[in-house]
A and B are shown apart, each in its own frame.
Chain A
């Protein structure tokens, strides 16, 4: 079916994807900036508190540079961001980059672990359910997956705390980072946050895997392998599963985005030292620079994970992508 690769086209395709991702990130940053700065909530009024009069607010706006045209402010912001400068917090007066570096690494660690667990669990569950569609096992796994996908993550997380920390007392309910350490120093504290994040995404991804497996199971290619009398495990591992890699890879990449978003809520439940706390308090305190900085980093993480999956897919199967 693959009538020979076209090695010359691959780098060009990859470059196009890369450019597309950069463009996406730029425009997404503009949207974020718009949402944060154009809408009526004003950093100047917020940083002065309730008692400020119009004159004070105007002076503060000038001081914060809020009286300049929006486009200039956006270009300034993007320009500095490219230099690695995300601005200064209007509340703590510390550089945003410095404020968010450690939390960002902690959040990425949580996401990375959750992706690993998700891929492992979703693949096994999806394949198990998809090999015998309509069976009792399939129904059970599917029903469980739909329930877990439907229930908001903070509910799942709270239930995990209730069961494993409050009732059974086998796992810590909070994630503390020791002095100069990382969350990895206390792996036990990572179990519940990772589980809370992974349950949702594994449930979702397992449905994708199942669907691909079901579809692949009906393909003429697999049918003919069966008819040829190959042993079932050989059919499954050599002929059925390989065809499901492409679509699954995409599903997992999308999940990384969902996981990044999910951390905002799950971290809160476990008091995990990631980006959730600074993000939420930035909104509460109208700290626009911190909000934009974190938003940019998070959407950057999503775009990068999508790009990675895309490039992997391209390397694995350049023709499929072109055909689509």
Chain B
């Protein structure tokens, strides 16, 4: 029916962590150890900008000054406070990707359910459209949009959505088709349910699990794309963890914190995002 070339294997089996091995209490401790730093970083990223006393763009000393009183992590490439910039630079990596992921998932699911429910030509056209977008590497789409629109939250949203919607719609289409084939839908229709009611009551609950599981990947990709734009130098110049990594690389032997701390922040954030949606999906399944 559809080209296998367009069948993303990402669909059903996305990376996920099985539950830690061992007896119950140990497992709980292990899980807790995973979650605590993740929560701390997310909190820090969101609340950080409120904790910066002054202007995080202020030059307070020489470039790459070592840590000292009032400068817990030293200064960056042009003499700004690394700790202040770390506090101020996490939020963009949380807000924009989160909104983008919700948008991508909602739009993708709607399209996928529509195609899966209606089937036939609609599904074929939709599948073809998906395959088009999938032929463009996300970073190329991002750069083309940056080229045309310049850097803004809107550009990032658009880039994440354009590259993510095909994946989501593909997954929800496949899941919808499965549900339709089970016969529940026919049954519901026979009982006199309208299409909307069928979709809401029969289809959506049954496809939630794969869609949520995929949302973890979407969020990770959204964070990676947002961060990549900053890393490649297209950011607005306001503090950003990703930009910090590239800005402070040269002085990494002098003040490693300017690279290490934001890099750690990004890592924990993305891993946490993945784990969180993973658990949600698992809950949804059980």
Chain A residues within CB distance 8 Å of chain B: 17, 20-21, 24-25, 27-28, 31-32, 35-41, 133-136, 138-139, 142-143, 145-147, 149-155, 158-159, 161-162, 166, 203-204, 207-208, 211-212, 247, 250-251, 254, 257-258, 260-262, 264-265, 268, 279-280, 282-284, 286, 288, 291, 294-295, 298-299, 302-303, 306-307, 309-310, 313, 321, 324
Contacts and interface: CB of A to CB of B under 8 A. Distances in A.
- Give chain B's interface secondary structure class: helix
Contacts of A307: 5
B143 A280 contact: yes
Given A139-B21, A146-B15, A154-B245, A283 B146 contact: yes
Kindly name the residue among A39, A150, A306 whose own CB sees the greatest number of chain B CB atoms within 10 A.
A150
Contacts of A310: 3-5
Contacts, number: 199
Kindly name the residue among B141, B224, B275 whose own CB sees the greatest number of chain A CB atoms within 10 A.
B224
B9 interface: yes
B122 interface: no
A155 B266 contact: yes
A302 B136 CA distance: 7
Interface stretch (B47-55, B187-195, B198-206, B229-237): B229-237
A24 B132 contact: yes
Contacts of B15: 142, 145-146, 149, 203-204, 207
Using C-beta atoms within 8 Å of the partner chain, give the interface range for chain B: 35 or more
- Give chain A's interface secondary structure class: helix
B149 A25 contact: no
Kindly name the residue among B21, B137, B144, B249 whose own CB sees the greatest number of chain A CB atoms within 10 A.
B144
Nearest to B216: A150
Given A251-B9, A310-B4, A143 B17 contact: yes
Given A17-B5, A40-B148, A152 B266 contact: yes
B10 to A, nearest CB: 7
Contact of B21 (A27, A134, A251, A254): A134
B126 interface: no
Interface of B: 1, 3-5, 7-10, 12-22, 131-141, 143-150, 220, 223-224, 227-228, 231-234, 242, 245-246, 249, 252-253, 256, 259-260, 263, 266-267, 270-271, 273-275
Nearest to A159: B263
Contact of A147 (B1, B233, B267): B267
Nearest to B146: A283
Contacts of B234: 283-284
A136 B266 contact: no
B233 A134 contact: no
A256 to B, nearest CB: 10
Contacts of B134: 257
B136 A146 contact: no
Contacts of B150: 41
